[in-house]
Structure 1
């Protein structure tokens, strides 16, 4: 069971990282940390929807596995954490243009 929880957290954090791949460079540029190395994020951005989908499936599988093994009460805070991180990643992905526009206005 712990394997599923660890996997769901790893998937959630990777989904959050992929979702912020286009917002993170803009944020770094606002703080003066830009550079040519930021071009790496373009390659990551092409896989963001796939990573988020896989992450969502893994989080749902963790919920289902903990429900079936009757350990939902013990793991509910861990599962809520992974769900919140994955949900935040989806929000960032769908509002990426607005976030980037806001960051450009801050420059």
Structure 2
């Protein structure tokens, strides 16, 4: 059961990392940390929806496993944290253009 919770957290953290792949370089340039190494984020952006879908599937699987083993009450805090991170990742991906436009206005 704990393995499924950890799998959902790993999926959520990776989804959050992939979701920020296009916003993070803009924020880093705003802080003066630019460079050619930021091109790496472009290759990550191509896989963002796949990683987000896998993270969501892991989260659902962890919730189902906890429900079937009657341990949902004990693990609801962990599942809530993972759900918040995954939802935040989806929100960043769908609002990426607005976030980048806002960061550009700060430059």
**Structure-1-length-normalised TM-score:** 0.99
| Residues 27-46 of structure 1 aligned to structure 2 (within 5 Å) | 27-46=27-46
Large movers: runs of 4+ above 4 Å = none
- Equivalent in the alignment of 2:15: 15
1:63 Cα deviation after fit: 0.5
Question: Is 1:65 aligned to residue 65 of structure 2?
Answer: yes
Gaps of 5+ in 2: none
- Equivalent in the alignment of 1:106: 106
How many pairs align?
A: 107
Give, in whole Å, the separation in 2 of the partners of 1:39 and 1:33. Answer: 13
Give, in whole Å, the separation in 1 of the partners of 2:106 and 2:67. Answer: 45
1:37 Cα deviation after fit: 0.4
Instruction: Please give the per-residue CA displacement for 1:54-102, whole angstroms capped at 9, x wherever unaligned.
Output: 0000000000100000000100000000000000000000000000000
- Equivalent in the alignment of 2:96: 96
1:53 Cα deviation after fit: 0.3
- Equivalent in the alignment of 1:48: 48
Give, in whole Å, the separation in 2 of the partners of 1:94 and 1:78. Answer: 25
Q: Over aligned residues, Cα RMSD in angstroms?
A: 0.3
